[in-house]
Amino acid sequence: MIGLKDVADRAGVSASTVSRVLAGKSYVSDETRERVREAIEYLNYRPNTLAQSLKSGSSNTLALVIPSIQNQMFPHLARGAEDAARKAGYTLVLCNTYEDKELELRYIDTLRSHLTAGFIFGTMLSSSEHIRRLRQEGVPLVLTSRLHGDDMDAVVIDNRLAAYRATRHLLATSRGRVAIAPGNLSLGIYADRLEGYKAALLEAGMEADTDLILLNSDNKEQLYTDVRNLLEREKDIDAIFATNDQKAFVVMRAVHDLGLRIPRDVAVIGLDNVEMSQWIEPPLTTVAQPLYDIGRRAVEKVLDIIKYKEEHGRLPAPQIEVLDTELIIRKSTREER
């Protein structure tokens, strides 16, 4: 590896001087600067950011920790985050945790000791103690998919409201009963979505029927058979709310395989508005999350936090930012009456 010293030798100056022209902050005579520039050019020298970080105690790397790139929610979020990071001269790396706490811890450990400047957590894990501790230790971080109390920074949507909107649309366009595939309730956001569903039902003068709540909807195969069983058992169900688009795809497959038509026999609605939703048949009605913006804002937020910390020596008071959602009506639900 070619280092500062090599450049210094070639330019006939000291290492400090090279460092100075690199930093561009202190004064260096134009002539010296030029000679150093040439040497850098000639040797194709690249500063070792590792050493820089070790010295400065900070870096230009941000980490986006997500459950899995398999979850189609994240491409857009990541894109927003990357764009914002790049704009600020930061590099963003992605880490998949598969909602495994051990893995999440391991990534945090590794990245932290690599002096990652900040973290964005897209994971939904219910236990957040380690994250809270991380924050207490002064590490800049922002949450995007979980929320446990208001003592941490976050950029989120109102999951309850989003689910309420989805359910209300279903209620307004159905005659029969409305079922729900809520997903793993131990993940806070799905519990919130179930709440929103119940609230909409209540408002319409109905009560949530436990039989219509498909737990275990995290496993796709399981969800598939559950939907089939449900629909065969309860003939008066004519709408299903899948608490995320990917579950909706599975639900649609099950409905279809039963010989039922979407939306005529059974309407299906999702939540997220992932890219695929518009390409499947029929195109999926869903409640859109502003995924790109969530990613973008989350990064802007950590960057603000980092800056604040540099100036004040401590993290700023936590703030939660709630972005809005929007019902996107496509063809998997009936027309509003």
Partner DNA sequence: CTGAAAGCGCTAACAG
Partner DNA sequence: CTGTTAGCGCTTTCAG
Name the residues that contact DNA, by CB under 7 A.
1, 3-5, 12-17, 19-20, 22-23, 26-29, 31-33, 47-48, 51-52, 54-57
Residues 45-104 that bind its own copies (CB under 8 A): 46-51, 53-54, 57, 60-61, 63, 68-70, 72, 74-76, 78-79, 82, 86, 91, 93-96, 103
Instruction: Sketch the per residue contact string, 259 through 298, with its own copies: x for CB under 8 A, - otherwise.
Output: ----------------xx--xxx-x---------------
Which CB sits closer to its own copies, 32 or 68? 68
Helices (H), the chain: 4-11, 15-23, 30-43, 49-56, 74-87, 101-113, 129-136, 159-173, 188-203, 220-233, 245-257, 291-312
163 and 327 Cβ atoms separated by less than 8 Å? no
According to DSSP, residue 213 is labeled B
How far apart are the C-alpha atoms of 137 and 315, rounded to whole Å?
A: 10
- And the tokens for 287? 């409640």
Q: How far is the CB of 86 from DNA (least distance, A)?
A: 21
Tokens 């973008």, located at residue: 296
Query: Which residues, listed in sequence order, are joined to residue 268 by a DSSP beta bridge?
Result: 240
DSSP, collapsed to helix, strand or coil, labels residue 165 as helix
Residues 198-227 that bind its own copies (CB under 8 A): 220
Q: Is there binding between residue 115 and its own copies (CB under 8 A)?
A: yes
Query: Which residues, listed in sequence order, are joined to residue 285 by a DSSP beta bridge?
Result: 269
197 and 241 Cβ atoms separated by less than 8 Å? yes
Which CB sits closer to its own copies, 64 or 180? 64
From DNA, its own copies, none, interface partner of 229 (C-beta below 5 to 8 A by class): none
Q: How far is the CB of 141 from DNA (least distance, A)?
A: 20
From DNA, its own copies, none, interface partner of 275 (C-beta below 5 to 8 A by class): its own copies
Residues 3-42 that bind its own copies (CB under 8 A): none
Counting DSSP H helices and E strands in the chain, the numbers are: 12, 11
Task: Supply the Cα-derived Rg of the chain in whole angstroms.
Answer: 25
Q: How far is the CB of 44 from its own copies (least distance, A)?
A: 10
> Which residues contact residue 324 at a Cβ distance below 8 angstroms, ignoring those fewer than 6 apart?
157, 290
| Interface positions with its own copies (CB under 8 A) | 1, 46-51, 53-54, 57, 60-61, 63, 68-70, 72, 74-76, 78-79, 82, 86, 91, 93-96, 103, 106-107, 109-115, 220, 249-250, 252-253, 256, 275-276, 279-281, 283
